[in-house]
Amino acid sequence: MAIAFIVTLEKQLPGQAAYAKGATGKALARESDKLDSVARRRNVNPITSLLSENPATVIEQLKADGFDSSKMRVPPEQWYAAAEGLKTTRALTEYVGANLNDFKQPNPILRDLKAAEALLVEAEAAGVRFHFSKTDF
C-alpha cells in the first residue's frame, strides 16, 4: 500500500475539488526524507513537521488494526497558517526545479508541490489553516 501526503484544510474551499483531482501526494511521501532535508537547509518547515491527523480517524485506524484505543493517548489535530505551507512548498519547488537530477522522478514532485501551493494560496487568502495528512492509496 502506497502512502501520500495531501493538504487538509480547516474548512472547505472551492479550489479543494480541483486539488483533489490534480495531485496525488505520492511523490511527496515517497521523497519525504530528501525533501525534509532540503527544507531544513532552506530554513523552512519540513513537510513532515506540518503533518497532523484528525483524532477520530486515528482512533478508527487503531481499532481496525486491533488496538484498544481507549488505552492510548491520541494527539489533538494541529493546524498551521497557510503562509507556512507556502514558504515550504515554494522553497521546495525552487530547489527541485533547479536540481532535477537530485531526484529519481522530479516531475511528479513538482506537480504535487504546485498543486499544494495553489490550494494554499487560496487558503491564505481566505484565512483558512491547513496541515498535511497521510493517506493510503
Model confidence over 3-61: pLDDT tens digits? 899 999 999 888 777 777 666 899 999 999 999 999 999 999 999 999 999 888 877 87
Q: Is the pLDDT of residue 84 over 90?
A: yes
105 half-sphere exposure, CB direction, 13 A CA radius: 11
Any residues with CB less than 8 A from the CB of 44 and at least 6 apart, and which?
A: 87, 88, 91, 92
Which residue type is seen at 58?
V
Q: Given pLDDT bands bounded at 50, 70 and 90, which one contains residue 69?
A: confident
More reliable by pLDDT, 113 or 75:
113
- The pTM of this model reads 0.88
C-alpha to C-alpha distance for 48 and 50, rounded to whole angstroms: 5
Q: How many C-beta atoms lie closer than 10 Å to residue 48's C-beta?
A: 16
More reliable by pLDDT, 134 or 15:
134
In 31-72, where does DSSP find H-type helix? 32-41, 55-64
Q: Given this model, what pLDDT does residue 1 score?
A: 62
Q: What is the 8-class DSSP label of residue 133?
A: E
Query: Under a CB-based contact definition with an 8 Å cutoff, are residues 93 and 117 in contact?
Result: yes
Q: Given this model, what pLDDT does residue 101 score?
A: 95
Mean pLDDT, all residues of the chain: 90
